Amino acid sequence: MSKSKFLGWVQSLSYLEWIIIFLFLVFIVFPLPLNHTVALFFDSSLGMVLLFFATLYFFLGTHPAVGVLFVFFAYELLRRSHAVTQQVPLLRAEGMNFPSVQREPMQQPPEESLIKEGNQPILTQDERDARMASFNPQIQHTLEEEIVAAYGPTRTGAIYEPPTFNPITSSKIHASVF
C-alpha cells in the first residue's frame, strides 16, 4: 500500500468515525469492567440481536474499517458479558426453548478445604477406585454358566489339535429322569 493510498484512506474517515475507532480500541485493549446490568443485557438474545444490527449498520453505513473493528468490539463485549453473568445455555429437546442457568462465581477454596471436602477427607485415586468398585453388584452366574464351567470342554493338548468334545452326551449328569 503506497503512502498516498494510505493517506487517502485515513483522510476518508470522518471525525466521528475516528472517535468511534478510538473508543472501540480502548475497550478492546484495556480490561474495562462491565456493569452487571449491561452484561445481562448483552448476554441475552435481545442484546445479541442489537449487536447484529449494529454490525450491519457499521459495515453498511460507515467506513469498512470501522465495521471490522466493531466485529472485534462485539466479540469482546460478548466475552466479557458472559464472564460477568456466568450463564450457561441449556438445549432442550422440546421445541426451541433455550433457558439459562446462573452459576455461582468461582471462588478460591480456603486452605482447610484442600485437606477436607466438607466433612469428608480427600481420597486418593486408589481409594476412590475401591469405593466405586464396592458400589458394583456382585457377579452372579446363571445356571447355564455354572454347568458349562463344570462340564464344558477343556482343551488339554496343543492349540492346533482338534478338540475331543462331543456336544451330545448320553449321560444325564445328576439330572432327574423326568
- Domain assignment of residue 131, yes or no: no
- Domain assignment of residue 67, yes or no: yes
- Domain assignment of residue 7, yes or no: no
pLDDT band at residue 16 under the 50/70/90 scheme: confident
- Domain assignment of residue 102, yes or no: no
- Domain assignment of residue 83, yes or no: yes
Q: Which domain holds residue 44?
A: 14-87
- Taking a C-beta distance cutoff of 8 angstroms, is the pair 70, 22 a contact? no
- Domain assignment of residue 63, yes or no: yes
Helix (H) or strand (E) holding 129: helix 125-135
Over pLDDT 90: what percentage of the chain? Answer: 12
pTM (2 decimals)? Answer: 0.47
- Domain assignment of residue 74, yes or no: yes
Residues sharing a CB contact under 8 Å with residue 76, sequence separation 6 or more, in sequence order: 27, 28
The rounded distance, in Å, linking the Cα atoms of 53 and 62 is 13
DSSP E strand stretches across the chain: 87-89, 100-102, 116-117, 120-121
Mean pLDDT, all residues of the chain? 76
Q: How many domains does the chain have?
A: 1
DSSP single-letter state for residue 139: P
Helix (H) or strand (E) holding 22: helix 15-29
- Say if residue 155's pLDDT is above 50: yes
Residues in the chain: 178
- Domain assignment of residue 65, yes or no: yes
Per residue in 86-103, pLDDT tens? Answer: 775 544 444 455 455 555
More confidently predicted of 19 and 7: 19
The rounded distance, in Å, linking the Cα atoms of 103 and 87 is 6
